Amino acid sequence: MLNPLKVVIAGCSGRMGHALLECVFADAELVLHGALDRADNPQLGRDAGEHLGEVSGVTVTDNVDEALKNADVLIDFTRPEASMVYLAACQKHHVKMIIGTTGFSAEQKLVIEAASKNIATVFAPNMSVGVTLLINLVQSAAKVLNEGYDIEIIEAHHRHKIDAPSGTALRLGEAAASALGRDLQDCAVYGREGITGERDPSTIGFATVRGGDVVGDHTVLFAGIGERVELTHKASSRATFALGALRASKFLIGKNAGLFDMQDVLSLR
């Protein structure tokens, strides 16, 4: 790469923002071009690398147009409402976008899909290379364990996560459902309480745990008679998501439009 990729980070003062900044500073193929956060954030006007002991020369701002001017890519791990604002701005400035935000409505997902006709976009509920591989493994397992095995998805995250089940858990459910020729919307069970009756073998169940500082744990359980197959991924650091997002950013070089996910980034299809 002759010139470093000019990266803008949204939510730069948050937990994921800090992980992204650290990884950008460590990658010679990337340069921090802009750092965005909310208008009420106390870090506004300060150097984005200050907390890491870095002098980046980029100040944290809430001015989206200013941050995106002449940028190559925006990386967003914020919240759906903010992501929609950033998406519109990226279209205006012809800036590519990496979306790791979760909790989007069906309507918001359609907006992202429409926007990708104008700007190249990687949209994935989990940017981890390991989770991307897990999705493929779940599809393969579901095709083999297609009769006599009940599928349950268990996920755990920190106490601050606002959506449940996680976007990753839902993506794993979609992977299993599609391999079985089902629609997750028709077969998902998101909670059990009281006298529920026997388990419907065609369903895919979800269990959610929230507490402490758990970065992200996901297990897909195939429970049969006399045996269980468990596929598990545990994230011990947000760096795994940040590194995946940076890999996705480089994947978009030379692409002007299109909607991609991490399966595309890792050439798994």
Q: What is the pLDDT of residues 111-127, one digit of tens each?
A: 999 999 999 999 998 89
The whole-number pLDDT of residue 1 equals: 52
> How many domains is the chain partitioned into structurally?
2
Contact 16, 241 (CB under 8 A): yes
The whole-number pLDDT of residue 52 equals: 84
Q: Are residues 163 and 244 in the same domain?
A: no
Q: How far apart are CA 210 and CA 216, in angstroms?
A: 10
Q: How far apart are CA 62 and CA 186, in angstroms?
A: 41
Per run of 10 residues, the mean pLDDT along the chain (length 269 residues) is: 89 93 96 95 92 90 97 97 97 97 94 98 94 95 97 97 93 97 97 94 97 96 98 95 96 97 91
Sheet strand arrangement including 216-223: 188-189, 204-210, 150-157, 216-223, 228-235
**Which are the contacts of 104, defined by CB distance < 8 A and separation ≥ 6?**
80, 83, 112
Q: Are residues 231 and 185 in the same domain?
A: yes
Phi, psi of 32, deg, nearest 5: -75, 120
Q: Are residues 177 and 249 in the same domain?
A: no
Side-chain-facing half-sphere of 250: CA atoms under 13 Å: 16
Q: Are residues 9 and 119 in the same domain?
A: yes
Could you report the per-residue pLDDT of 107-163, keeping only the tens digit for each? 999 999 999 999 999 999 889 999 999 999 999 999 999 999 999 999 999 999 999
CATH code for the domain in which residue 189 is found: 3.30.360.10
The whole-number pLDDT of residue 3 equals: 87
Is the pTM higher than 0.75? The answer reads yes
Q: Are residues 194 and 97 in the same domain?
A: no
Residue range of the domain that includes 38: 5-123+238-265
Q: Are residues 156 and 202 in the same domain?
A: yes
Contact 98, 24 (CB under 8 A): no
Whether 157 is a known active-site residue: answer: yes
CATH code for the domain in which residue 21 is found: 3.40.50.720
Whether 255 is a known active-site residue: answer: no
Catalytic residue among 6, 93, 161, 255: 161
The whole-number pLDDT of residue 122 equals: 98
Catalytic residue among 157, 160, 234, 255: 157
Q: Are residues 170 and 75 in the same domain?
A: no
Question: 11: alpha, beta or left, given left = phi > 0 and alpha = psi -120 to 50?
Answer: left
